[in-house]
Amino acid sequence: MKALVTEREQLENEAYKLELSLNHVLRQMVESNQFEGLEWDEIEPYLADWSLFQERERRLTALGTEAINEQLSRQIITDLTEANLAEVTQLVQKYERLQWQLQQKQQESQSLLAKIERQQLNCDEIEEKLQDESDQTDVTKAPLIGRGVYVSVGAIIVSVLLATVIHPLFYLMALGALILLFKSYSSYRTKPGKLVESSSTHTEWEKIWQQQCAVLDELQFVKSEHDRTNEGLLEQSEVIWQSLACYAQQAKLSLSPTETDVFLIAFNKRLNEQRHWHQKQAEQKQMTELIMAQNQWLNGLQQVTAAVKDELDWANVPATLDRLLTEQKAYHHQTEAAINARQEKEQLLNNKTRVEATLVRNEEKQAALLAEVNVPDIAAFYQKAEQKRQAETIKTRLMVLQMQVSNNERKALRQFASKTAILKALANLKEQRLTIQKERQIAQKNLLELNHQIQLLTKGEVFADIAHEYFLLKAEVANLSQEWMRYKTAQTIVNEMVERLQAERLPRVLKKASEFLSYLTEGRYYRIDFFADELLVQRQDNFQFKGEELSQGTKEQLYLSIRFAFIEVLESAISLPIIIDDSFVNFDKRRTDLIMKLLDRIKDKQQIIYFTCHAYMKDYLPAEQCLDLTTYRQNDTESEY
């Protein structure tokens, strides 16, 4: 309502201002009409062409300046055509393509030479091995093993127990001992053994040598084909070069084998110079036509302005035309201003009447609306309307978002705590996609290389030889499968034995090892447990450590305690000497004293053989039980002489 009142006041003010402006325009039109005798309808076509007249003048000036400053040299113009440029471009492209092919062929030839040299070296090496094999004709008999069977059984049991308690790598020792046991047992049952004939080996080497020689012949044939291709490319390049030289001579240009692109640019420039000369000839003809048109336009304008010839200076055409244009614009502007002012005045009066009627109706509607929504004034009404609009906007936005997100997407989004987590997961997925793409490219490259190798292998006798070797290897795989089944059966038996030993003797071993460790550490560590395939050591303050968490010295004391405990527990089943090779070099004097005292206790039940290169270790042993091996070595040397 306030806006309508303001609009009515503005309309009244504007109507008053327009009345004053209209009177001023009419008064000015009467006072400032200097060219009252001119017929503006006849002058307007000429004034409308004034910009065209100026453009023709600028064009004439430019053409005249170019005609004076530019001196065309006919001596560089030759009879060149667009067809010549297209042919030269095609020749240059062919020449560059041939040069690139020659470079590629040269690189391939160098690569083939390197392959031929390597293949020749392979043939020479195989030929030497073939000669060596031909000199060996004796038959070798496999050794026989007897008492080693018992030693192997003991080694299997000890290694399995160590692997169970200390580290799984000891299973490898058990497997090696098991293999040795099977070989010994087989050798024992079949005393004649296996005979290996050298003639079969000689035949295999001879076959490999023939295959390598065939590959060498194929590489040399490919090299000769490359040489013939290079000769053909050189001949084609020479023919194209002669054609380019003829065009360079015709256009008076220089030609260099390494700058064919520069020659092509210069040739195109020379053709453009020829086109430019013909264009200038046409421009000179156009300049003559423009001068005639300008004179015709000026004479017509002077005739229609003869009524005020004393007021106009036709000696200065631009100034005269500018004055006429100014007067024309002023005349039209004043006429249009008077007409517009009258129209605006009428429109403002109509608008004033319409606004007053609208104002009355709006005041009635405003009072009804304020009463309907129960608000005191218009400000409260706008505030309430804005709140409702915001609520509708939020509701609409919520519905749109709910429609955009499916149930599965809602479940997936609940897994993330925030937007940052979603962006982080998206970044991880992008990195995984890049990694997969790289792996795919590598796989595709490997596939192409394998296909190429397959194509090479399927040519000639190489495929037949490889197929023969494949069937031989297939038969060998069948034999190895049978042998693997035997080893698998043995492994099952050994695993059952290990499980039984763990159930029966492991508690005794841990108890005895705890006693040894408590003695060696002087009570600082007093208990060893085995839980979840890990060794746990308990300190005197009841704090437990894993084996790898101990210091190096304590760790060695732990492993020695377990070994000695195994030996003592297995004493009733197997009795073997303990061999120690300078295993205490990392101990300090206190640890060395303790371990040597422990060995002194064990030697009453088990034989101990200790090797050392340190003289101070003799202080821990009786002199009659020490042997100096250097003395025996000197005696053996003297006996040889």
Q: Of 254-258, 317-321, 495-499, where does mean pLDDT reach its minimum?
A: 317-321
User: Which of the four pLDDT bands, split at 50, 70 and 90, describes residue 26?
Assistant: low
3-state SS record for 232-258: HHHHHHHHHHHHHHHHHHHCCCCCCCC
Phi, psi (5° rounding) for residue 141? Answer: -105, 135
Which pLDDT tens digit goes with each residue over 452-498? 877 776 665 666 777 778 888 988 999 999 989 988 888 888 778 66
* Cα 563 from Cα 170, distance rounded (Å): 13
Give the residue-averaged pLDDT of 577-604: 87
User: Which of the four pLDDT bands, split at 50, 70 and 90, describes residue 164?
Assistant: low
Consecutive H or E run containing 196: strand 195-196
3-state SS record for 469-508: HHHHHHHHHHHHHHHHHHHHHHHHHHHHHHHHHHHHHHHH
| Per-residue model confidence (pLDDT) at position 75 | 42
Residue type, 46: Y
Q: Which residues of 490-522 are buried (b: 16+ CB within 10 A; e: fewer)?
A: beeebeeebeebbeebbeebbebbbbbbbbbbe
* Cα 181 from Cα 151, distance rounded (Å): 9
Give the residue-averaged pLDDT of 527-545: 85
| 82-139+197-250 topology per CATH | Helix Hairpins (1.10.287)
- pLDDT tops 50 at residue 146: no
The DSSP 8-state label assigned to residue 29 in this structure reads H
* Cα 538 from Cα 545, distance rounded (Å): 6
Angle 37-41-44 from CA coordinates, rounded to 5°? 105
Consecutive H or E run containing 456: helix 419-457
Greater pLDDT, 225 or 520: 520
Q: Quick check: 537 and 549 in contact, CB under 8 A?
A: no
Count of Cβ atoms closer than 10 Å to residue 572 Cβ: 7
The DSSP 8-state label assigned to residue 307 in this structure reads G
Greater pLDDT, 623 or 57: 623
Helix (H, G, I), strand (E, B) or coil at 581: strand
Q: What does the radius of gyration of the chain's CA atoms come to, in whole angstroms?
A: 56
Q: pTM for this one? A: 0.28
User: Which of the four pLDDT bands, split at 50, 70 and 90, describes residue 143?
Assistant: very low
User: Which of the four pLDDT bands, split at 50, 70 and 90, describes residue 356?
Assistant: confident
- Give residues with Cβ within 8 angstroms of 292, minimum separation 6: none
Q: Quick check: 524 and 539 in contact, CB under 8 A?
A: yes
Angle 381-383-384 from CA coordinates, rounded to 5°? 65
User: Which of the four pLDDT bands, split at 50, 70 and 90, describes residue 641?
Assistant: very low
Give the residue-averaged pLDDT of 619-624: 85
User: Which of the four pLDDT bands, split at 50, 70 and 90, describes residue 194?
Assistant: very low
Greater pLDDT, 439 or 42: 439
* Cα 461 from Cα 215, distance rounded (Å): 9
User: Which of the four pLDDT bands, split at 50, 70 and 90, describes residue 193?
Assistant: very low
Angle 171-176-178 from CA coordinates, rounded to 5°? 95
User: Which of the four pLDDT bands, split at 50, 70 and 90, describes residue 187?
Assistant: low
* Cα 472 from Cα 200, distance rounded (Å): 14
Angle 523-529-534 from CA coordinates, rounded to 5°? 125
* Alpha-helix runs per DSSP H in 70-169: 82-134, 148-165
Q: Of 74-78, 149-153, 260-264, 475-479, where does mean pLDDT reach its minimum?
A: 74-78
Q: Quick check: 388 and 34 in contact, CB under 8 A?
A: no
Count of Cβ atoms closer than 10 Å to residue 365 Cβ: 11
- pLDDT tops 70 at residue 167: no
Greater pLDDT, 604 or 333: 604
Nearest Cα neighbor of 349 from 102, 19, 4, 628 is 19
| Per-residue model confidence (pLDDT) at position 170 | 52
DSSP states of 359-408? HHHHHHHHHHHHHHHT-SSHHHHHHHHHHHHHHHHHHHHHHHHHHHS-HH
Measured in whole angstroms, the distance separating CA 555 from the mean position of its chain's CA atoms is 47
| Per-residue model confidence (pLDDT) at position 480 | 92
Reading the block at residue 60, the tokens are 């004439």
* Cα 246 from Cα 86, distance rounded (Å): 15
| Per-residue model confidence (pLDDT) at position 442 | 93
Q: Of 62-66, 184-188, 348-352, where does mean pLDDT reach its minimum?
A: 184-188
User: Which of the four pLDDT bands, split at 50, 70 and 90, describes residue 191?
Assistant: very low
| Per-residue model confidence (pLDDT) at position 445 | 92
Residue spans of the domains in the chain: they are: 2-73+281-360, 82-139+197-250, 375-401
| Per-residue model confidence (pLDDT) at position 514 | 92
Q: Quick check: 6 and 271 in contact, CB under 8 A?
A: no
The DSSP 8-state label assigned to residue 612 in this structure reads -
Q: Quick check: 280 and 72 in contact, CB under 8 A?
A: yes
Which pLDDT tens digit goes with each residue over 379-398? 888 888 888 889 889 988 87
Summary mean pLDDT of the chain: 73
Which pLDDT tens digit goes with each residue over 419-449? 788 888 888 889 999 999 999 999 999 999 8
Measured in whole angstroms, the distance separating CA 28 from the mean position of its chain's CA atoms is 80
